[in-house]
Amino acid sequence: MKRMRAVVVGRVDPGGDEPNLEELKALAHAAGYEVVGTILQRRKEDPRYNIGRGKAEELRDYVKEHGVDSVIFFNELKPLQVLNLREMLGVKVIDRFQLILEIFAKHAGSKEAKLQIELARLKYELPRVREWVRRAKMRELPGFLRGPGSYQVDVYYRAIRRRIIKIRKELENIRKRKLIQRKMRDRIGFPTLVLTGYTNAGKTTLFNRLAKESKPVSASPFSTLATVTRLTDIYGRKVMVSDTIGFIDKLPPLLIEAFYTTLEEIRLADLLLLVIDSSEPSSEIERKLNASSEALKEVGVIDKPTIAILNKVDMLDESELRERMALVSKYHDVVVPISAITGMGIDELKKAIYDNLPKYRRMSLKVSSFDDLKVLDDVKFVQIKSIKELDDGLLLEIEGPEETLMRIQGSLSCEWRAAMSI
């Protein structure tokens, strides 16, 4: 397949942090572009073109000379800027948000992911169409958009709004179904582990190893969009393990809304497995660690028990490994080096997981009737191991986290026998 030829453009406010054009290039590559040029400008935002007019003219000449067919901005473009840039450059103009969405669209397998992408795209388009409507009414659209009258643009605008409402409803239904499934899982009572971290860190590779699965992995970012959950076994303890969508620096808010707020798995997890690509330079590791913790905060996860997993250590020598361990230990108490590909360190990781799972105990509980069992309906992780009928009631053997068992015991006026550790 022939790749589209693209130029990536970044603008930075005077005194601001440089935009990460290397990562933007990698994203462009993943979306199917060949990046033939890079432009970086330091100046404050020009309301018409984002970059300065002079720079935009330079870009126009470059586009003509080098047969470029797409221009990709790091900065978020305002509706008017897109219109002006398209008119001046005469080629496709997108920003980082649209680029990420193009990658998502390539990888979207499930109906939910497809709907989420459509929702994000329509919500992105809405203010832009509003701008068209306003300008069509004032008859000042740039040449190529002058065709449709304000009436057609109005119709289009209303159609988008209707579609957004419809997608929201469909997503709501899908999520309700998922919630029911999750509740059933909770009732079964296994602790949950969630793999999280920056995109491309190796989450799915590790998931496949832990869950004996074969989900697709790739060197391209955002291979995984939808959460996958499997039951597995860690030294005899049954656990649910989930693989999730990866994070990226400066996640566009519209994407957070469409994709990441649905990450209940992370919020409800008993233990997070934060996967880190240790083969990168320390500065990158640190940047991605910060981006991941920002993203976790965005989705409402703070202070959750976490194991930091230093993945891809097969690519490091001993001194590099020591340095990476020291770096990540500054951020996390439990750090385990592994290679998800070769299997190195997996046993140590399993031990760390086992040690950090909620502690379980078993106890015998005597209740006078089946009605008393209702207290067990809403508690998480408690399993009934056996029920014995007695003359004056039921004798249960239950297993679960110590705190929960104590709570049950307190809420029931029942006899209980010694709780024992397992």
Residues of the shown chain interacting with ligand GTP in the complex, contacts defined by CB under 6 A: 199-205, 217-219, 221-224, 246, 311-312, 314-315, 339-341
At closest approach, how far in Å is the CB of 286 from ligand GTP? 18
3-state SS, residue 147? coil
Interface residues for Mg ion in 224-243 (CB under 5 A)? Answer: 224
Report the residue number, 98 or 311, with the smaller CB distance to ligand GTP: 311
- Nearer to Mg ion (CB atom), residue 224 or residue 404: 224
Which of 111, 98, 129, 102 minimizes the C-alpha distance to 167? 111
The one-letter amino acid at 179: L
Shortest Cβ 101–Mg ion spacing (Å)? 18
Sheet arrangement for strand 33-42: 33-42, 4-12, 70-73, 92-95
Nearer to ligand GTP, 106 or 137 (CB): 106
Instruction: Kindly state the tokens that stand for 152.
Output: 């057609």
116 touching Mg ion, by CB under 5 A: no
Helix (H, G, I), strand (E, B) or coil at 232: strand
The closest of 401, 419, 309 to 363, measured between CA atoms, is: 419
Please give the backbone phi and psi of residue 93, each rounded to the nearest 5 degrees, phi first: -125, 125
Task: Fill in the amino acid letter for 182.
Answer: R
Distance CA 277, CA 401 (A): 33
181 binds, among Mg ion, ligand GTP, none (CB under 5 to 8 A by kind): none
How many residues make contact with Mg ion (CB under 5 A)?
Answer: 4
Least Cβ distance, residue 364 to ligand GTP (angstroms): 44
User: In the bound complex, which residue of the shown chain has the CB atom lying closest to ligand GTP?
Assistant: 246
Query: Interface with Mg ion includes 192 (CB under 5 A)?
Result: no
Which of these ranges, 101-109, 220-228, 313-321, 364-372, lies near Mg ion under the rule CB under 5 A? 220-228
Report, in Å, the least distance between residue 174 CB and Mg ion: 21
199 binds Mg ion (CB under 5 A): no
76 CB-contact burial (10 Å; exposed 0-12 / middle 13-18 / buried 19+): middle
Q: Which residues make up the interface to Mg ion (CB under 5 A)?
A: 203-204, 223-224
